[in-house]
Structure 1
Amino acid sequence: MTPRYVNVLLSETGAGLTERVLELRLLQAKAMLSEPRCFNMRIGEIALRSGFSDVSYFNRCFKRRFGCSPRGAR
């Protein structure tokens, strides 16, 4: 599968590859924040496990996407 082919498939959704990957990472993090077995994990650890290397960037993206901070979603 070539990058061009992936972009063609994603163009139907109106999002590029980067935006789609970000969305999937944020959805994974949101699911982990509400998962009872993840309550003992720090938000920074959830961010890292969801593919974010910068917790500040994660917090900004999360708030922009879901309208609340990760702590508020927990």
Structure 2
Amino acid sequence: MWPTTLVLNPAGAGLPTRARDIGYGTAELVSVGALALANPDLVERLRSDAPLNTPDPATFYGGGVAGYTDYPTYTA
């Protein structure tokens, strides 16, 4: 797909670490899968520096709505 692009998936790394990797040129892309799952409004939260919901790995791949559609959106 992108033969010269380094994509990092630093499991458990926070956004500051991921942003640093991009800033230092260590990576061109980083994954935010679990953070996006736990924060349905992730882009808006990042723009407004709002707190993030913590992903709950115990609910991943459980077959139900828990952990997929039950995370709250941010309200100021």
Instruction: Tell me which interval the TM-score lies in, with the shorter structure as reference length.
Output: under 0.3
Q: TM-score, normalised by structure 2?
A: 0.27
Structure with greater strand share of residues:
2
